[in-house]
Every structure is written in structure tokens, then in C-alpha cells.
Amino acid sequence: MKTTIVNKDDIKKKWYLIDAEGKVLGRVASEVAALLRGKGKPEFSPHQDLGDGVVIINAEKVILTGKKLTQKFDFRYSGYPGGQTLTPYSILMKKNPEKAMTMAVKGMLPPNKLRDKMIKRLKVVKGATVPANYQNSEKYEMRG
């Protein structure tokens, strides 16, 4: 059996539009991570960046299951003594739902040099308006 390596010229990247309204945060993030990596393509290879771009709309209407709104925190540390900041997800989802979605997707991508390239192809939008550059994105229906 021969292994084929895809050239950069042969890679066809598409943009997908996902509406996150009423969907669970982790389930959306796992499907988006698979799209960004290109795992659904027959020519997938873990060392190549073959993934597509994803636009997520209605990020503020995503659901967190269980007690995550009160028990899950966004942790930041400035590097100084006493410089840690813990923000509960109940506040984070009101102020910056784009950050919560981006962090969830980033955590599901492999921790290597390709992750930064993949996460740049993720656009998360608060509200239902699609950015002008991504108007002709293909609508993606999530599994399950």
C-alpha cells in the first residue's frame, strides 16, 4: 500500500458556518476541532494542515450542562504574586462568549505548532450576523 502526501496546491479549503444556538459547548467544540484539523477528509494526515475554516454564530446562546456555570472558571495569571484571576463561566458567558468557545475548541486541538494555524481559521461571532467576508460559507449541520 502506498502512502500519498498531499501538496499545498492540491489542498482545497472550505469555510463552514455553524449555528451554536441551543447546542452544548463541548459538543460544538469537538466537531469544530475535527473540521479545523480536516479529520473528515480522506487525505487526512496528522502532520499536515488540511483543515477547513469555521464560522460560529450565536456563541452567547450555547448551553453548558450540569453546574458548569457556577463551578467552572476561566483562570488567568499575570505572573505577579497574587495576580491570579478566576472568572466563573456565568460571567464569562455574558461578557465574552467568544472567548469561552475559542478556549473550548483550542483545548481540543493537539498541542503542537499546527494548533496556532488551525485556530486562526476559527471565527466566533456573538449574535446571528455573519461577517461580510464569510457570507458564502457552507452551512454545516452537526451530528447528533
What is the tens place of the pLDDT at every residue in 87-126? 999 999 999 999 999 999 999 999 999 999 999 999 999 9
Q: For cell 496556532, name the residue.
A: 116
pLDDT digits (tens, 9 = 90+) for 95-106: 999 999 999 999
In the structure, what pLDDT confidence band is assigned to residue 143 with cuts at 50, 70 and 90? Answer: confident
Residue 119 in contact with residue 36, Cβ under 8 Å? Answer: yes
CATH C-level class of 14-64+97-130? alpha beta
**Contact criterion met (CB below 8 Å) for 27 and 144:** yes
**What are the sequence ranges of the domains in the chain?**
14-64+97-130
- Strand ranges (E), the chain: 15-19, 53-57, 73-77, 84-88, 122-124, 138-139
Is the pTM higher than 0.85? The answer reads: yes
